Amino acid sequence: MAYDRRQTDVGTPQEGGAGPYRDYRFEVGRAEVPVGVPRTFKVLDPQRAASLRGWVECLVPAQRGRPSAAEVGAAEYIDATVYSASGLRETLLRAIDRLQALVGGAGGGGFAAADLGDRTRAVRAFELEDRSGAFDMVRDFTYEAYYAHPVVLAALQRDLGWDAVAPTRGGGMEAFDESLLHRVKSLPARYKEVR
């Protein structure tokens, strides 16, 4: 399946950590972190935890009855992932601290306490300057936590008709109607005979 937007990075795990850009994908293969499980922070201190909550809320805000990423535990999920993939911890910690500095420089008071607009501007600035891979990592983990959460999947079914349960439980479908092939069956053979 076509999967994400950066599939051209096909190096080896060792190369993933060699340069300034740390590609999280090479470090999370063994980080099994179920989505939708209640959990508390293990890596982040309370201040950084609050900042990360504020960050993921910017990435996927609440809208039209759908929760924000923070409301479905995306920050806790990211914390649990970097707990399992410890090589990513420093990348996350530095990124959170940088956001804190960016919003502090703009208006003071800290990232977590800033309003959504100020936080969004800081995240946008961080996205532009980031060379560590932290932004991509947090965005992708946030999407993971969001789009696998039962509450969000139920909202997608309610709003868009997307049946998110069918891929795990299956369901009935109408059998193929062979009469649809009437025209094609009347066509001449279309392959090269080889003698």
20-39 positions binding other proteins, by CB under 8 A? 25-26, 28-36
Q: Which residues of 24-34 are buried (b: 16+ CB within 10 A; e: fewer)?
A: bbbbbeeeebe
The string of DSSP codes covering 34-47 is: -TT-----SSS-HH
* Region of 42-50, 97-105, 107-115, 167-175 interacting with other proteins (CB under 8 A): 167-175
Rule CB under 8 A: choose which of 60, 82, 88, 92 binds other proteins: 60
Does 64 engage in binding with other proteins (CB under 8 A)?
yes
Does 18 engage in binding with other proteins (CB under 8 A)?
no
Residue closer to other proteins, measured from CB, 40 or 183: 183
Residue closer to other proteins, measured from CB, 46 or 195: 195
Does 173 engage in binding with other proteins (CB under 8 A)?
yes
Does 164 engage in binding with other proteins (CB under 8 A)?
yes
Q: For other proteins, how many residues bind (rule: CB under 8 A)?
A: 80
User: Measured between alpha carbons, how far is residue 39 from residues 75, 77, 169, 176 in Å?
Assistant: 10, 8, 26, 46
Give me the half-sphere count of Cα atoms (radius 13 Å) on the Cβ side of residue 175: 3
